[in-house]
Amino acid sequence: EAQVTQNPRYLITVTGKKLTVTCSQNMNHEYMSWYRQDPGLGLRQIYYSMNVEVTDKGDVPEGYKVSRKEKRNFPLILESPSPNQTSLYFCASSLQGQGEETQYFGPGTRLLVL
Amino acid sequence: GEDVEQSLFLSVREGDSSVINCTYTDSSSTYLYWYKQEPGAGLQLLTYIFSNMDMKQDQRLTVLLNKKDKHLSLRIADTQTGDSAIYFCAETSGYSTLTFGKGTMLLVSP
């Protein structure tokens, strides 16, 4: 089954404790992306990757890092999480990042930073 | 930056038609999308329209695009309780970097 998986689905952590949210897709997609969803703000893009070793900032990259060492994986790293990073995070992928392609979303990771 | 605006809430009765509206500011938008998010779930692409089209129909869904006014709408015919969800309008001017609206919560009552 074609899918985007994220782990963990729920996470509670404390300020400053480094964490990684994993994202994996099994569709051999080149394009992958991370979004955060906040009430009243919709979804905002954090980082995206057009292919292995190619990453770029989205609209809200501050406080986040990503890496793309393999095509299927695109982890989101919070080196020193802060309470304002409490949010619902979505990973997404599409074949090559073209507009007419379907972008597949993962189920989301709900993060609470205390 | 570019902006996408939607009304926040719409309530309809089962069997009625629902119309969700969206406006955007990016005149170079090439693709416009409607996504559906059910509670606790990710986003599901419902439909999209290319900017050189003015209408697209897919079963109960009709998308209308007024490029001059930068206005997009999603009409759901014969709305069902299972259509209750948050609907996001999104646009891109090329590659898959999407700009989303804040979402419209559709509540369908029996």
pLDDT digits (tens), chain A, 114 positions: 889 999 999 999 999 999 999 999 999 999 999 999 998 888 999 999 999 999 999 989 999 999 999 999 999 999 999 999 999 999 999 988 777 778 899 999 999 999
Q: Which residue of B has its CA nearest to A108?
A: B42
CB neighbour list of residue B68: distance below 8 Å, 6 or more residues apart: none
Nearest residue to B63 (alpha-carbon basis) of B46, B79, B43: B46
* CA distances in angstroms from B33 to A9, A26, A98, B4, B89, listed in the order given: 26, 24, 13, 11, 6
Q: Do A31 and B96 touch (CB under 8 A)?
A: yes
What residues in chain B have their Cβ under 8 A from chain A's Cβ atoms?
Answer: 1, 4, 30-31, 40-45, 48, 50, 88, 90, 92, 94-98, 100-103
Tell me what pLDDT residue B94 has.
Answer: 66
Q: How confident is the model at residue B1 (pLDDT cuts 50, 70, 90)?
A: low
Distance (Å) from the C-alpha of residue B5 to the closest C-alpha of chain A? 10
Give the model confidence (pLDDT) of B16-72 as tens digits. Answer: 999 999 999 887 878 899 999 998 888 888 999 988 889 999 999 999 999 999 999
* CA distances in angstroms from A19 to A11, A36, A53, A83, B34, listed in the order given: 9, 16, 21, 13, 32
| Interface residue A103 vs chain B (CB under 8 A) | yes
Q: How confident is the model at residue B77 (pLDDT cuts 50, 70, 90)?
A: very high
